Structure 1
Amino acid sequence: MMVVLGFLLVGIPIAFVQPDTGELRDQPLYLLFYASIGGIIVVIMYNGYKGKKARQQANRERRRKFKK
């Protein structure tokens, strides 16, 4: 997930700057910018969801051990 997040973060400045010359673009690539922002939001939400499920599983295991 960190690799995907890294690519999305690198895509944001590429939307506004020419990679080969380093100059600002006349027309920024807004689609790339908004797609990168949306992708970052999705990655953060997915990681939160995955962490929540892992905590629920750990709590379930802990309760099962405590009841025995």
Structure 2
Amino acid sequence: REGQYRVRLMENHKSADCAYPGVEILPDGTFVTTTYGHWTKGAEPYIVSVHVKLSELDEIAAEQK
């Protein structure tokens, strides 16, 4: 259902300097988010894309119950 999940995809290792992600849904239902931030501790910020399917989120949620 809408709003069923709140998902944190990655940890930004700095208290600021990360962008709001762009989010696209591909024809096969895959969510693609692209943003920049400090994803590796001590490293310069960089751009990253994460792909995830709703079925993967469903599996993770089922495992946590």
Per the normalisation by structure 1, the TM-score is 0.28
Structure number with greater Rg is: 1
* Structure showing the higher strand proportion among its residues: 2
Per the normalisation by structure 2, the TM-score is 0.29
**Larger RCO (CA under 8 A, 6+ residues apart):** 1
